[in-house]
């Protein structure tokens, strides 16, 4: 037999064996039914929040859903279930998601930042007083970056906290607002945005993590 053919067949066999081994080595004990997931003796319920999706760690028994990990969560308190078209975030039923306390991550437009100094600065910016001015816009997202928070080392963003941006030559904080304002014809409608000027003590750390629009 031609040596090249033998090499090609050998490669194909190795590839096929690897696929089969992967198929049977994946945990297929998860049961997904009625928005409840049962896996390894733990009940998971659907939740919401921004997250970074990791590798596949299991599948449902019938194989139609992948169970993927959430990055930075090796305890699998949170998991993602994914099919060809859909994906949902789930959390252990016995886990209480922290909605207050010590901010341990800030998400800037869904990008996670764990820097301690930045987290403390954002906490203070949100509560401290500052000079304010009002602008009108139909799209605050074009002027400032949305910020979300997670508390007490929770690996998933759990609180929408407003916006930080560079507006009218000032770094400002904008409290959470309704941005879905429309005219009768469905087109975007301008709305008032209350901007609080950020204390200059925080500008260096802010500029190192948030780009101007």
Q: What is the mean pLDDT of each run of 10 residues along the chain (213 residues)?
A: 49 42 62 90 92 90 90 92 91 93 90 93 94 95 94 90 96 95 91 96 94 78
Give dist(CA 208, CA 125) in Å, integer.
16
Alpha-helix runs per DSSP H in the chain = 3-25, 116-127, 203-207
Instruction: Confirm if 124 and 117 have CB atoms less than 8 A apart.
Output: no
Take residue 107 and report the two structure tokens written for it. Answer: 């998400």
Structure tokens at 179: 């941005």
Model-level pTM?
0.77
Condensed to tens digits (0 to 9), the pLDDT of residues 9-36 reads: 444 444 443 343 344 446 788 889 888 9
Residue 213 near residue 144 (C-beta atoms within 8 A): yes
- Compute the distance between CA of residue 107 and CA of residue 146 in angstroms, rounded to an integer: 8
């Amino acid at each position: 037999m031609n040596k090249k053919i033998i090499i090609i067949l050998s490669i194909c066999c190795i590839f096929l064996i690897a696929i089969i081994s992967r198929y049977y080595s994946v945990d297929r004990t998860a049961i997904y039914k009625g928005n409840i997931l049962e896996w390894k003796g733990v009940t998971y319920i659907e939740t919401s929040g921004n997250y970074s999706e990791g590798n596949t760690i299991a599948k449902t028994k019938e194989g139609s859903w992948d169970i993927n990990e959430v990055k930075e969560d090796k305890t699998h308190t949170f998991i993602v279930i994914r099919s060809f078209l859909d994906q949902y975030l789930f959390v252990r039923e016995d886990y209480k998601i922290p909605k207050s306390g010590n901010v341990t991550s800030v998400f800037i437009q869904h990008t996670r930042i764990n820097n301690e100094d930045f987290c403390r600065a954002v906490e203070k910016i949100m509560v401290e007083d500052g000079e304010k001015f009002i602008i009108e816009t139909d799209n605050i997202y074009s002027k400032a970056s949305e910020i979300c928070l997670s508390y007490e080392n929770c690996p998933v963003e759990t609180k929408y906290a407003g916006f930080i941006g560079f507006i009218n030559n000032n770094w400002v904080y904008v409290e959470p607002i309704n941005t879905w304002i429309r005219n009768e014809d469905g087109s975007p409608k301008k709305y008032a945005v209350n901007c609080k000027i950020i204390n200059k003590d925080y500008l260096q750390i802010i500029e190192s993590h948030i780009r101007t629009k």
